[in-house]
Chain A
Amino acid sequence: MKCLFEFGTFLVSIISFLIVFLLIRHWAFAPLARMMEKRRLYVEQQLSEAEGQREQAVKLASEQSELLEASRKQAKDMIDHARLRSEEQAREILESAQAEAERIMQQGRELVERERQEAVNAVLAQVSSLTVQISEKLLRDHVSETLHEELIQEADKRLGELVC
C-alpha cells in the first residue's frame, strides 16, 4: 500500500479549486450579491421614505386638527358675538319703538286736548253770539231798563255755568 498523500494532487487541487472559486465568484456570486445589495438599498430607501411620509402625515394631521379646532373656536366666537349683537339690537329696536309709541301717544293726547279746547271755544263763541241775538230780539220789543239789567245778569250767570 502506497502513501495516501500525493503532493501533485494536493497542489493541483488547490489551484483547481481557486480557478473554480474565481469562476463561481465572477459568474454566480457577484451578480447575486450585487442584486441583493441593490435590493437591500432599495428596501432601505423605501422604508426611510415611508417613514418620512408617515411623519409628514402625522404632522399634517395634527396641523389639520389644530386648524379645525381654531376654526371651530372662531365660528363659536362669531356666533356668540352675533348673538350678543342681535340681542343688543333687539333691545335697541324695542326701546326705540317704545319711545316712538310714547311720542305718538303724547302727540295724539296733545291733539285731542287742543281740539277739545278749540271745540269749547267755538261753542262758547256761538253761544255768546246766539245770546246776543236773542237778547236783541227780546229787548227790541219790550224791555224796560230794569228788565234789561236783569237779563244781562242772568245771561252772565248762565254763561259762567256753561263754561264751567
Chain B
Amino acid sequence: MIAFPYLFPNSLFKINIVTIVMIFVAGLVALFLLRLATSRLDMRHPKGWQNVVEWAMEFTRTMVGDIVPSERFISWIMPLSFTVLIFIFVANWLGLIATVSIHLSHPIPWLGITSSALKGSNGEVALFDSPTANLSMTLGLSVMVWLISHYQGWHRPKQYFKAYLNPIHILEEITNPLTHGMRLYGNIFAGEVLIGAILTMPVLFHFVPTGLPLLIVWLLYSGFVASVQAYVFAVLMVLYIGMKSYHMGGGH
C-alpha cells in the first residue's frame, strides 16, 4: 500500500495533499484541453479539436436529454454534467498515463509519512496519481451530487416528501451516494493497483519483461473502464438530480 503525504495527519481533518493537488491538475488539464478549442472559436467553419469538443458537448446534451427530456433542466445541468464528464475522464486517465512516486528512507512525520506507513509501502510515496483513486474524493463528489439533488427536491416539497412514502426510497438515499462514489473509486483504484502489481513482475534475464503483454492488455482495459466510469458517473449524477428536479420537468 503506497503512502500519501497528508496535511494535519493526526487530526480528524487530515487532508490527502496528492489527491487535492491532483484535482487541480486534472481540472487544469481539462481546462487546457478545452481552451485549445475555445480560444479560437469559429461558428461557421469549426475544425479539428473544436469539432471534438463540440461533439463532447452534443454527447453530454443527448445523454442528459435521454434521461430528463426537459429543455429547462438540460440547460441548467449542462455546465455541471459537461464538467463532471470531462473532469472525471481526464482524472481517470491521468492515473493510467503515469503514476509518479518517490522512495523515501526517512519518515516525515508532519506530512503524515510515518515510519510505519513507509514500512507498509516499502518506502514509496505517491506524488502523482488519479484523484479518483481516492475514496474520500469520490465520496465527496457523490455527496455533492446528493446535496444538489435534495436542494432541487425542496423546490417542490409535496412531491419530494411523497416519494418517501415508499421506505425503499429512504434506503436509496443512503445507498445511492455510497455506491455512486465507491463504484468510481473501486474501478479506478483496482485498475491502478493491478498496474502496480504487473509492474513488479520480474524481468527475466534482465531483458524479458514478463509482465509486458499483460500490462498492455490491462492498460487497454483500464482505459476502457476509465472512460466508461466517467460516463457512468455523469449519467448517474444526472439521473439522481433529475429524479428530484420536479420543478424543472424531472421526476417520473
Contact = CB atoms under 8 A, between A and B. Distances in A.
A153 B27 CA distance: 166
A37 B175 CA distance: 38
Interface stretch (A15-23, A54-62, A73-81, A85-93): A15-23
A19 to B, nearest CB: 8
A31 to B, nearest CB: 5
Give the interface size bracket for B toward A. Answer: 35 or more
B139 A29 contact: no
Chain A contact residues: helix, strand, loop or mixed: helix
Interface in B36-90: 37-38, 41, 43-44, 53-54, 57, 78-80, 82-84, 86-87
Contacts of B159: none
Contacts of B235: none
A30 B82 CA distance: 11
Contacts of B16: 6, 8-9
A114 interface: no
A24 interface: yes
B19 interface: yes
A14 B141 contact: yes
A13 B136 contact: yes
A8 B13 contact: yes
B53 A32 contact: yes
A86 B177 CA distance: 101
A29 to B, nearest CB: 5
Contacts of B31: 20, 23-24, 27-28
A11 to B, nearest CB: 7
Given A9-B137, A32-B34, A32-B54, A21 B80 contact: yes
A158 interface: no
Contacts of B82: 29
Interface in B18-40: 19-20, 23-24, 26-27, 30-31, 34-35, 37-38
Interface in A1-58: 1, 4-14, 16-21, 23-25, 27-33, 35-36, 38-39, 42
Interface of B: 1, 6-8, 11-16, 19-20, 23-24, 26-27, 30-31, 34-35, 37-38, 41, 43-44, 53-54, 57, 78-80, 82-84, 86-87, 131, 134-137, 139-141, 143-144
5 contacts: A5-B139, A13-B19, A13-B131, A16-B23, A23-B27
